[in-house]
Amino acid sequence: MPEHSQAAFAVKVDTRNDDGGALIAEIADYLGQRDPHIPLEEQRLKPYRANGKLAELKKIGIDVNPVIGDIRRLLDTTHQINTYEMLMTRKEAEELKSYPGIKSVSIITQYKIDTTEMRSVFPAFPNIHWTYDFYGPIYVPKKGDHIPMNVQNYYTYQKAIREYEDNPGFSLASDGKTVLMDGKPITEYVMKMDYYFMMGDNRDNSEDSRQWGFVPEDHIVGKPLIIWLSLDHDVPWYKKIRWGRMFRTI
């Protein structure tokens, strides 16, 4: 995993520890100010307490502000009481393990499952059972590829063929097995463009190709090089610029 890439971790808080109890109270108090009917960026959330536990988390890079969303939800299954899902780097996770009131920190992994994944995973093929962590294999097509037209490939490449390559007559027959082009059966399709598979750097909080599929070459308009501006949502306007993140290369 890249050094600055974030992943989801399960963070169990020790409620018997004063620091752990204070952290839970601050998270509930801060996020409790949210109004679901008002966009996050317009909400006035209660500021971090001076020298509070949330401020200490923020120092190591974990930001509870819902615009950032590093602390996402309370896991409340039988074996995960007082356990939060937090997004962070591996370095931040190691630092958090020594934080007073933290009982354990472990990466969350979505293993292959036998039931339908709650979060949609591309392609929407029946009984595919992939997750964001266990994904594929999947073939990313390039210009000139001869793609066999079976049912699974129909679901995998239908958006690319129908929308990006302008074939509105591309469809699946009523028998659910035969692939059609303008009403006539086809056994293969030759791709007209190169395609790319995009993956977000915030791996467990990204809507990327794992959700919506391939990106055609003519949709790519540029390449990110640097972070030119980074703002803190929880401080007065004259302190908002996070100078330490500015002009960092991507």
- Asked if residue 121 belongs to a domain, the reply is no
Do 155 and 80 lie in one domain? The reply is no
pLDDT at 49: 77
Do 91 and 174 lie in one domain? The reply is no
The DSSP letter of residue 141 is P
Counted domains in the chain: 3
Do 18 and 96 lie in one domain? The reply is yes
Low-confidence stretches of the chain (pLDDT < 50) are 114, 116-117
pLDDT at 117: 43
pLDDT at 112: 63
- What residue numbers bound the domain in which 65 lies? 7-108
Domain boundary among 91, 108, 125: 108
Do 183 and 228 lie in one domain? The reply is no
pLDDT at 116: 46
Do 67 and 12 lie in one domain? The reply is yes
- Asked if residue 80 belongs to a domain, the reply is yes
Q: Is 70 exposed, middle or buried (0-12, 13-18, 19+ CB in 10 A)?
A: buried
pLDDT at 28: 83
Do 183 and 225 lie in one domain? The reply is no
pLDDT at 128: 76
Do 14 and 82 lie in one domain? The reply is yes
- Asked if residue 157 belongs to a domain, the reply is yes
199 close to 209: Cβ distance less than 8 angstroms? yes
> Nearest Cα to 12, choosing from 98, 101, 90, 88?
101
- Asked if residue 141 belongs to a domain, the reply is no
Domain boundary among 85, 108, 131: 108
- Asked if residue 2 belongs to a domain, the reply is no
Query: What are the tens digits of pLDDT across the range 134-152?
Result: 888 999 999 999 999 999 9
